[in-house]
């Protein structure tokens, strides 16, 4: 049947059924009670709690997960009575429950010390930021909250030390370094209550000297990971073929100047725009001007607070992290905070290209614009506990292409953008094929200067063991672009209108968005 093409997108019904909403609400409440710090990172809502990682608490959570799984399976068995949006939400919840039960079986919070360190650091982060930038007065209420969190963090460390001594929790050289780095940050935090700071420090210093045997995690089958966690219906061979096609497309678009570049680092030469704030302001203004009306109809006029990632959390922030926190904005449009890895703000390495990519991915038109829109959805709680990794990172990876509008300011932006995509693709292709793709990659990359090709392959080989972390950025990008192409074709929409329609449904799986929109 021939479609009636329109210049304006259709109205999308975003209500979900009462039965699906009731289960989502209960799962959200249970998850918020069990993992308040993780919910805070997604929503910006700071609760009094800190994770309880005791055996009894984790077992109780697993029992709840089993109960939720029975209920969601019952709903999934009634798909013929559910709307497309209900089906999408049910599928997201099923993948979330699978991930949670897998984490319980793998005993991630018991066997891996880094998981506990990360929770402690992020639980304290809002108070650390307040003390560093003085956004809020240190009122008695906030100090009491902080004291309670410190007590709970001490409990987590005591439990970890007990498990390390029993040989249950791994404590590798990297874990000891983490403990030392966190201790250094705590020691510099002058606003902490002295008694609790000393108690925390004594435990961290002891852990920095404590060796523990390495406990391997239960392996996750690749097919199961693709299907049950990421919701990918394509098989590994189909994924590899599609990603090779993407790689060739990116290589075709590389500027000629790249062939004269000496190294990846020199492609991103230091910028001379000024101080951190001046650089952030200029990049934000440039991206906002180039994005509005072209990539999206509207963007937030407020630049988020942009900071060097505090030493407290810098080990857990590879590039940057957007938090919907610490601003005067409304819940639908928070100013938020962008925490950037210090390497990107070092005067010797800071570059317009690197910061533009980070801000496009995290702020405009990336994650913050996603967040502004999903907070207005009736099922926004879904994205506070889970969101399709493909939908979340796929959109942000697509959003990075907004930097191509800045090439009139600096051609290095285009080169950095292309090479970042190629680096991610190379990593996934090596990992997904267990290295068998290397000869083909060598051939495909043969037109690049040898030193750049070797750098790309070297980085990819180091990262290929955790290639699954890059899949949402690569296959997510593929799925996002495919869905956007279908939307534009079906409704004869401009890029901006198609993007707005896509984001109307939040970071759902791109295939779910296609089904809901009927494209």
Which pLDDT band holds residue 443 (cuts at 50, 70, 90)? very high
Q: Which two tokens stand for residue 321?
A: 């992290």
pLDDT of residue 133: 64
Whether the per-residue pLDDT at 4 is higher than 50: the answer is no
The CA-based angle 128-133-135, given to 5 degrees, is 95
pLDDT average, residue stretch 435-451: 90
Instruction: Please indicate, yes or no, whether residues 307 and 163 belong to a single structural domain of this protein.
Output: no
Whether the per-residue pLDDT at 216 is higher than 70: the answer is yes
What's the total number of domains in the chain? 2
pLDDT of residue 6: 52
Higher-pLDDT residue of 308 and 489 is 489
Whether the per-residue pLDDT at 266 is higher than 60: the answer is no
pLDDT average, residue stretch 207-232: 87
Which pLDDT band holds residue 49 (cuts at 50, 70, 90)? confident
pLDDT of residue 342: 83
- Whether residue 51 contacts residue 34, with contact meaning beta carbons closer than 8 Å, is answered with yes
Is residue 135 included in any domain, yes or no?
Answer: yes
pLDDT average, residue stretch 128-152: 79
pLDDT of residue 450: 85
Name every residue whose Cβ is closer than 8 Å to that of residue 335 and which is 6 or more positions away in sequence.
Answer: 302, 303, 304, 305, 326, 327, 328, 329
28-63 b/e with 16+ CB inside 10 Å = b?
bebbbbbbbbbbbbebbebeebbbbbeeeebeebee
Instruction: Please indicate, yes or no, whether residues 320 and 426 belong to a single structural domain of this protein.
Output: yes
pLDDT of residue 308: 85
Residues comprising the chain, all counted: 519
Q: Pick from 141-145, 198-202, 334-338 the range whose average pLDDT is largest.
A: 198-202
In whole angstroms, give the CA distance from residue 474 to residue 269.
Answer: 26
In the listed set 175, 208, 241, which residue is the last one of a domain according to the structure?
Answer: 208
Which pLDDT band holds residue 5 (cuts at 50, 70, 90)? very low
pLDDT over 70, % of the chain: 90
In whole angstroms, give the CA distance from residue 266 to residue 259.
Answer: 12
Is residue 37 included in any domain, yes or no?
Answer: no
pLDDT of residue 331: 45
In whole angstroms, give the CA distance from residue 365 to residue 295.
Answer: 7
In the listed set 180, 208, 236, which residue is the last one of a domain according to the structure?
Answer: 208
Whether the per-residue pLDDT at 497 is higher than 90: the answer is yes
In whole angstroms, give the CA distance from residue 165 to residue 167.
Answer: 5
pLDDT of residue 258: 59
In whole angstroms, give the CA distance from residue 137 to residue 124.
Answer: 16
296 has which bridge partners? 292
Q: Which CA distances in Å does 448 have to 6, 35, 255, 481?
A: 44, 46, 11, 26
- Whether residue 108 contacts residue 58, with contact meaning beta carbons closer than 8 Å, is answered with no
Instruction: Please indicate, yes or no, whether residues 274 and 245 belong to a single structural domain of this protein.
Output: yes
Give the sign of the dihedral formed by CA 74, CA 97, CA 155, CA 33. Answer: negative
In the listed set 185, 208, 231, which residue is the last one of a domain according to the structure?
Answer: 208
Mean pLDDT of all residues belonging to the chain: 88
The CA-based angle 389-99-365, given to 5 degrees, is 15
**0.85 exceeded by pTM:** yes
379-429 confidence digits (pLDDT tens): 999 999 998 999 999 999 999 999 988 765 556 788 888 889 999 999 999
166-196 confidence digits (pLDDT tens): 999 999 999 999 999 999 999 999 888 999 9
- Whether residue 84 contacts residue 516, with contact meaning beta carbons closer than 8 Å, is answered with yes
Q: Which CA distances in Å does 117 have to 68, 219, 269, 319, 450?
A: 29, 23, 34, 19, 40
pLDDT average, residue stretch 208-222: 82
Closest CA relative to residue 325, chosen from 338, 308, 313: 338
Instruction: Please indicate, yes or no, whether residues 197 and 230 belong to a single structural domain of this protein.
Output: no
Closest CA relative to residue 300, chosen from 365, 378, 391, 352: 365
Is residue 106 included in any domain, yes or no?
Answer: no
Is residue 38 included in any domain, yes or no?
Answer: no
The backbone torsions φ and ψ at residue 149, rounded to the nearest 5 degrees and listed phi first, read: -65, -40
Is residue 51 included in any domain, yes or no?
Answer: no
Q: From start to end of 40-97, where are the E strands?
A: none
Is residue 402 included in any domain, yes or no?
Answer: yes
Instruction: Please indicate, yes or no, whether residues 256 and 145 belong to a single structural domain of this protein.
Output: no
pLDDT of residue 408: 57
Burial class (CB in 10 A: 0-12, 13-18, 19+), 176: middle
Burial class (CB in 10 A: 0-12, 13-18, 19+), 302: middle
Instruction: Please indicate, yes or no, whether residues 261 and 406 belong to a single structural domain of this protein.
Output: yes
Name every residue whose Cβ is closer than 8 Å to that of residue 258 and which is 6 or more positions away in sequence.
Answer: 267, 415, 418, 419, 448, 449, 452
pLDDT of residue 44: 79
In whole angstroms, give the CA distance from residue 331 to residue 329.
Answer: 7
Is residue 11 included in any domain, yes or no?
Answer: no
Instruction: Please indicate, yes or no, whether residues 173 and 289 belong to a single structural domain of this protein.
Output: no
Instruction: Please indicate, yes or no, whether residues 365 and 444 belong to a single structural domain of this protein.
Output: yes
Q: Which CA distances in Å does 7 have to 132, 193, 500, 514?
A: 49, 60, 13, 19
Instruction: Please indicate, yes or no, whether residues 414 and 306 belong to a single structural domain of this protein.
Output: yes
Whether the per-residue pLDDT at 272 is higher than 60: the answer is no
Instruction: Please indicate, yes or no, whether residues 203 and 228 belong to a single structural domain of this protein.
Output: no
CA 175 to chain centre: 22
pLDDT average, residue stretch 495-511: 97
296-352 confidence digits (pLDDT tens): 999 988 888 888 888 899 889 988 999 886 444 444 445 788 999 888 877 666 677
Instruction: Please indicate, yes or no, whether residues 500 and 399 belong to a single structural domain of this protein.
Output: yes
- Whether residue 341 contacts residue 309, with contact meaning beta carbons closer than 8 Å, is answered with yes
pLDDT of residue 137: 57
The CA-based angle 279-260-416, given to 5 degrees, is 35
Name every residue whose Cβ is closer than 8 Å to that of residue 108 and which is 6 or more positions away in sequence.
Answer: 115, 217
Is residue 65 included in any domain, yes or no?
Answer: no
In whole angstroms, give the CA distance from residue 484 to residue 495.
Answer: 8
Segments forming the whole domain that contains residue 479: 223-517
Which region among 54-63, 102-111, 477-486 has the lowest average model confidence (pLDDT)?
102-111
In whole angstroms, give the CA distance from residue 244 to residue 441.
Answer: 9
Instruction: Please indicate, yes or no, whether residues 368 and 507 belong to a single structural domain of this protein.
Output: yes
């Amino acid at each position: 049947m021939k479609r009636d093409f329109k210049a304006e997108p259709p109205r999308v019904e975003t209500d979900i059924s009462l039965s699906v909403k009731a289960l989502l609400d209960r799962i959200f409440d249970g998850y918020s009670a069990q993992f308040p710090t993780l919910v805070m990172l997604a929503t910006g809502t700071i609760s009094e709690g800190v994770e309880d990682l005791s055996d009894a608490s984790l077992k109780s959570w697993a029992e709840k997960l089993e109960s939720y799984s029975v209920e969601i399976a019952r709903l999934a068995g009634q798909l013929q009575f559910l709307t497309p949006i209900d089906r999408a939400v049910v599928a997201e919840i099923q993948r979330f429950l699978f991930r949670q039960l897998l984490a319980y079986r793998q005993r991630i919070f018991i066997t891996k010390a880094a998981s506990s360190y990360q929770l402690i650091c992020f639980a304290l982060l809002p108070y650390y930021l307040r003390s560093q930038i003085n956004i809020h007065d240190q009122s008695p209420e906030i100090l009491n909250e902080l004291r309670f969190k410190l007590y709970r963090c001490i409990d987590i460390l005591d439990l970890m030390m007990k498990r390390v001594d029993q040989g249950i929790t791994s404590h590798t050289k990297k874990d000891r370094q983490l403990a030392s780095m966190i201790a250094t940050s705590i020691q510099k935090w002058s606003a902490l209550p002295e008694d609790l700071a000393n108690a925390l420090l004594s435990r961290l210093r002891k852990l920095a000297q404590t060796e523990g045997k390495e406990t391997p995690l239960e392996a996750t089958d690749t097919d199961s990971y693709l299907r049950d966690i990421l919701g990918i219906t394509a098989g590994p061979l189909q994924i590899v073929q599609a990603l090779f096609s993407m790689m060739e497309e990116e290589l075709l678009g590389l500027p000629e100047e790249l062939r004269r570049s000496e190294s990846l680092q020199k492609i991103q030469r230091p910028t001379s725009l000024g101080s951190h704030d001046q650089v952030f302001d200029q990049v934000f203004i440039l991206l906002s001007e180039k994005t509005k009306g072209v990539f999206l109809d509207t963007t937030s006029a407020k630049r988020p607070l942009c900071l060097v990632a505090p030493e407290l959390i810098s080990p857990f922030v590879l590039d940057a992290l957007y938090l919907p926190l610490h601003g005067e904005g409304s819940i639908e449009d928070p100013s938020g905070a962008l925490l950037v890895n210090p390497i990107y703000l070092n005067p010797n390495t800071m570059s317009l290209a690197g910061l533009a990519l980070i801000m496009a991915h995290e702020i405009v038109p990336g994650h913050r614009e996603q967040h502004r829109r999903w907070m207005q959805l009736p099922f926004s709680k879904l994205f506070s506990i889970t969101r399709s990794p493909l939908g979340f990172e796929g959109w942000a990876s697509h959003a990075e292409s907004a930097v191509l509008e800045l090439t009139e300011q600096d051609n290095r932006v285009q080169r950095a953008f292309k090479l970042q995509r190629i680096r991610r693709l190379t990593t996934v292709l090596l990992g997904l094929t267990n290295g068998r793709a290397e000869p083909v990659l060598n051939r495909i990359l043969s037109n690049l200067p040898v030193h750049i090709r070797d750098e790309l392959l070297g980085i990819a080989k180091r990262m290929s063991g955790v290639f699954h972390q890059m899949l949402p950025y690569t296959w997510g990008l593929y799925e996002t672009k495919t869905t956007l192409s279908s939307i534009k074709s079906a409704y004869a929409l401009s890029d901006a209108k198609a993007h707005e329609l896509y984001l109307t449904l939040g970071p759902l799986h791109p295939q779910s968005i296609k089904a809901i929109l009927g494209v």
